[in-house]
A and B are shown apart, each in its own frame.
Chain A
Amino acid sequence: MFEVITCHNESISCLKLSGELDISTVEKFRLGIESIPETSTEVHLDFSCVEFVDSTSIGNLVQVMNQMRAQGVKVMVKRIPKEIYEVFDLLGIPELIGEEYFECLI
């Protein structure tokens, strides 16, 4: 079970993700990303209700972040639960992309 709720205003898009993100649900995440209007200059991915991630889903997230950054869009991953952030950390993602783009829930 995985859901994406999107909310767009003029320049900022927010995507609230919930459920388990893996090989079977990553397509839904990509569809959510595709719904972001071209006018958005900033994207917030709210991870507070994400219950599981693995290297496949994080690999997709990194690809999306890199593509959007190349187009000049700032992507922030917000409210990451501690257990989920540990997986990001194990994979060295905050180091790779920049720690300032990842906000962990305490």
Chain B
Amino acid sequence: MAKFKAKVNRNIISCRKKQQREAIFKVYKDVIYAVTQGKFLLVNVHEIYCYTDEGVKLAAVNIFTNKDVGLARQITRQVVKDVFPEYDKIQKILLCVSEAATNILKHAGPGQLIIKKTSDDSLRFIFNDHGPGIDIEYLPSMLFYKGFSTKTSLGYGFNLIYSIVDKMILSSSPNGTTVAFDIILE
């Protein structure tokens, strides 16, 4: 009987902790969305599929080694050239791709980039990994302070991507992270 009560108590505590985490997540999501005026969207692992399934897939690149960062840029350059031949600000897109791919290698291990066309004038770059995830407590610092990193590198990457792209979507859990960003090619 005592064992049963202890088990019930553990379940109740676990359930409350889960509710607390969900409440904190929702506060972070709403505040960051409001502060960034809708530019940054934090979503949970179930919601991210709404964004990663959208659009037509144009290319995919596995990011396993440092050399794949250059390959990701090369393929991005080709995709943009094919779809929007007149576009002349490619350098900033390549910078975002390089930053996101490098972040995967530095913080998560192997990952993948998928490039999609989501509208007549918009591309979505989706980066997936199975690393340890991003602690959402660090998000405000990662987004709004230059030079912040949870690792001992200069770690400007996340802030740099945010400053360039038109929309950014993040989903992260201890099983991995998906970072997607949209660039409108006008």
Q: Which residues of A contact B (CB under 8 A)?
A: 20, 22-24, 52, 54-56, 58-59, 62, 83, 86-87, 90-92
- In the complex, what residues of A have CB within 8 A of residue B94's CB? 52
> Which of A23, A87, A90, A91 contacts B102 (CB under 8 A)?
A23
* Binary contact track B144-159/A, C-beta < 8 Å → 1, others 0: 0010000001111100
Cβ-closest chain A residue relative to B92:
A86
Interface size on B, residues (CB 8 A): 23
> Which of B69, B98, B154 contacts A59 (CB under 8 A)?
B154
The complex places the Cα of A58 from the Cα of B102 at a distance, in Å, of 13
Is B108's beta carbon under 8 Å from chain A?
no
- In the complex, what residues of B have CB within 8 A of residue A24's CB? 65-67, 69-70
- In the complex, what residues of A have CB within 8 A of residue B91's CB? 52, 83, 86-87
- In the complex, what residues of A have CB within 8 A of residue B156's CB? 55, 58-59, 91
Instruction: Identify which of residues 95-135 in chain B touch chain A, using a CB-to-CB cut-off of 8 Å.
Output: 95, 98-99, 102, 105-106
Contact (Cβ within 8 A) B102 A22: yes
Contact (Cβ within 8 A) B69 A52: no
- Whether A90 touches B160, Cβ cut-off 8 Å, given contacts A23-B105, A55-B99, A56-B153, is yes
Q: Shortest CB–CB separation between residue B183 and chain A, in angstroms?
A: 15
* Binary contact track B20-34/A, C-beta < 8 Å → 1, others 0: 000000000000000
Which one of B102, B156, B160, B164 has the highest number of Cβ atoms from chain A below 10 Å of its Cβ? B156
Contact (Cβ within 8 A) B160 A22: no
* Binary contact track B71-101/A, C-beta < 8 Å → 1, others 0: 0010000000000000000010011001100
The complex places the Cα of A86 from the Cα of B163 at a distance, in Å, of 13
> Which of B65, B70, B146 contacts A92 (CB under 8 A)?
B146
Q: Shortest CB–CB separation between residue A96 and chain B, in angstroms?
A: 9
The complex places the Cα of A86 from the Cα of B91 at a distance, in Å, of 10
Q: Shortest CB–CB separation between residue B185 and chain A, in angstroms?
A: 17
The complex places the Cα of A5 from the Cα of B73 at a distance, in Å, of 25
The complex places the Cα of A91 from the Cα of B147 at a distance, in Å, of 8
Q: Shortest CB–CB separation between residue B119 and chain A, in angstroms?
A: 26
Q: List 5 A-B contacts (CB under 8 A).
A: A22-B102, A23-B66, A24-B66, A54-B98, A91-B146
Q: Shortest CB–CB separation between residue A83 and chain B, in angstroms?
A: 5
Cβ-closest chain A residue relative to B97:
A54
- In the complex, what residues of B have CB within 8 A of residue A20's CB? 70, 73
Cβ-closest chain B residue relative to A81:
B91
- In the complex, what residues of A have CB within 8 A of residue B69's CB? 22-24
